[in-house]
Amino acid sequence: MSDLFKNSTGYKRLDAYILMNIVQLETLVFCRRFLSAKNDPCGRQFDQMAQAARSGVKNLTEGSERLATSAQTALKLIDVAKASLCELRDDYLTWLLDKNLPPWRKDSPEAVAIYAIHLDHADYGEDVNHDLAVHIIAQRRRFAPWFGDGNREQSSAVESNRSANAIECDRLQSKTSADVVFANAMLILISRAIMMLDRILRRRGEEFVKEGGFSERMTAARVEEKRSFRRPVDDDAPKCPKCGADMRLRHGKTGDFWGCTGYPSCRGTKPVEG
């Protein structure tokens, strides 16, 4: 029974989840800064980009939560999260193509500098939501120079890595428009997030093949439960402390224990000594 419900809360510590939150937040910044009544008169691009970024985060969240009871649904939702990021990636690519510009090559100095920015390990206390928000804010600051927001406070981590990150960014922004740098940087962050989701999908798929889904685990648990009632009573089995009937060795979440043979009428239990 201990493996019947899979733990689904660990997704808040995933680099993919943190990075996708950063992608959503920076997409909102991009849309507010560079989309206007002139190039987006109906606000449709703003809405589509914001929704695609949001869909990525929320579908990863819902998919991870559904792992407890439905691996199939979870995999579908995580795949939707990936598809939403792919849609958002194409929006940034189109932004560059509209300016007759290709995205940065992966081996370009700019791309190498951004790929070199790694996220810190997520270490949360009891107040997970508060600690999660603090962690996202801190990790977001690592990429701040590439998004040209001079009003955003720079963290010590960014300052200490200035030779590899901010200096390269300053050099580039001195000769390239801010929206082009922003779009290229977002393409890299989104590509990283997509690769992370690919790994999650492969790992969850392999777990499903090996362990099955919720229905299979539930059936196996029920079969084991029934089998435990058909086991013979041991010669040294104790008597039930509630009704005095014989007890039978059973297995539960915390290990083996003695259970009354009169179950479910009597729910007497006793720990296994020794």
For 116-141, the pLDDT digits (tens) are 999 999 888 889 999 999 999 999 99
78-95 residues labelled b (16+ CB within 10 A) or e (exposed): bbbbbbbbebbbebbbeb
Give the mean pLDDT of the chain: 82
- Give the pLDDT of residue 258: 87
pLDDT of residue 57: 97
Q: How confident is the model at residue 272 (pLDDT cuts 50, 70, 90)?
A: confident
Helix (H, G, I), strand (E, B) or coil at 257: strand
27, 50 contact by CB (below 8 A): yes
User: Exposed, middle or buried, 230 (CB in 10 Å: 0-12/13-18/19+)?
Assistant: exposed
Q: How far is CA 262 from the centre of its chain?
A: 46
Q: Which residue has the higher pLDDT, 212 or 262?
A: 262
Q: How far apart are CA 80 and CA 200, in angstroms?
A: 13
Least confident window among 12-21, 66-75, 215-224, 227-236: 215-224
Top pLDDT among 112 and 232 is at 112
For residue 103, cis peptide bond before it (omega within 30 degrees of 0): no
Query: What is the Cα–Cα distance from 151 to 140, expressed in whole angstroms?
Result: 14
- pLDDT, tens only, 17-50: 999 999 999 999 999 999 999 999 999 999 999 9
Helix (H), strand (E) at residue 243: none
CA distance 238 to 236: 6
| SS3 call for 19 | helix
Residue 259 confidence (pLDDT): 86
> How far is C-alpha 156 from the geometric centre of its chain's CA atoms?
26
What whole-number percentage of the chain has pLDDT above 70? 76
The predicted model gives 236-264 an average pLDDT of 84
Other CB atoms within a 10 A radius of the CB of residue 102 amount to 9
What the block records as the tokens of 234 is: 């041991």
Tell me how far apart the alpha carbons of residues 202 and 132 are, in angstroms, rounded to a whole number: 26
Output the DSSP codes for 48-72.
HHHHHHHHHHHHHHHHHHHTTT-HH
CB 89 within 8 A of CB 190: yes
CB 113 within 8 A of CB 143: no
Q: How far is residue 210's CA from residue 202's CA, in Å, rounded to a whole number? A: 12
Average pLDDT over residues 206-217: 62
How confident is the model over 184-203, as pLDDT tens digits? 999 999 999 999 999 999 98
Q: What is the pLDDT of residues 144-186, one digit of tens each?
A: 988 875 434 334 444 444 545 555 555 555 567 899 999 999 9
Sheet holding 247-252, edge to edge: 247-252, 255-260, 269-271
